[in-house]
Amino acid sequence: MKRIISAVAVCMFLTFLTSVVFAAERPQKVSRGEIVPVPAAAAPAPIPVSIVSIIPAQAEPGGRVSLFGSGFGEAASVTLGNAEIPVQLSDGKQAEFSVPLQLEAGLYVLYLKRADGTTGRPYNFTILPIKPVLNALSPDRISFCAQGREREVAAQGLNFASNALLLFDGAVIRTLAVYPDTINFTVPQVAGGLHQVVVKNSPDIGSVAMALTIETRPEVTQVTVGNEIVNYYELIITGKNFSQNSSLFVDGQMIGGRGGQDMVDREKLIYVDCTKLIYQRHPYSPTTKDFRLQVINPTGESSQAVTVTAP
């Protein structure tokens, strides 16, 4: 009898377990209007910021830089050193920015930061010293005998540092004033011809050289009659670039200078300065006539021929 009761109990227990299992497997019936909670899905990981190239890898202040990569989003900024710089984005794959003018030359850490706070890996970026640009010299030619303010020249351009140096034929010379776009200086007393001018913001960063011409060719601007003595009179020749050894050609005859004939101390050429010569002329007749004058320097350079009407 006890065995029968035990068998019945076992059968009832198995039946209960089976009903529980099948009930768990069957879909539960949901009454109308009842909301069944849905398990929350895991949040997707944010898209990383990836930079594959920086063009150029170094730039001067004010230079334009482009970043190429992915995951830049719809808004972002670039951090360069301690400066946060807004960028212009294209398709979330290209970002452009300008290097701030106030940043000094050196090595900086650069990274891109998306609007959601996600940042890319940092990169090294070099800011170069600003390269000076020399555009013009005003004037670009001066007379060899120019004096005082006539020898002042303005070097005009861009990006001149406050401590910029001006080199004349490779040597640093004193400047009168330095501005971001102009450097004023006085041309030293040097030989005639072409000379080079360069502006340097640092020993290694300089402009392209420009040429300054010092003219040595004599030029006659005026001939006037001066003092009249008993048997001769003076012709005053004014102009520029006359030399102590200049000669005067009068209708083809050389007077004064090296190799010139003074006609046995009669016809003479007196050098006053580089702008004035005095020709002591001994006329053989008081009647006026036309004759031609031309100044010749020892270098062989000659002035234009000038026609004079005098005794």
CATH of the domain at 159: 2.60.40.10
Band the pLDDT of 31: cuts 50, 70, 90.
Answer: low
In a domain, 297, yes or no: yes
Higher pLDDT, 43 or 179: 179
Listed in sequence order, the residues at least 6 apart from 269 whose beta carbon sits closer than 8 Å to its beta carbon are 246, 247, 248, 255, 256, 257, 260, 277, 278, 279, 280
Distance, CA of 91 to CA of 221 (rounded, Å): 70
Asked if residue 238 has pLDDT above 70, the reply is: yes
Asked if residue 1 has pLDDT above 60, the reply is: no
DSSP secondary structure code for residue 151 in this structure: G
In a domain, 25, yes or no: no
Candidate from 7-16, 49-58, 195-204, 213-222 with smallest mean pLDDT:
7-16
Band the pLDDT of 2: cuts 50, 70, 90.
Answer: very low
In a domain, 261, yes or no: yes
Residues 188 and 224 in one domain: no
Structural domain that includes position 244:
219-310
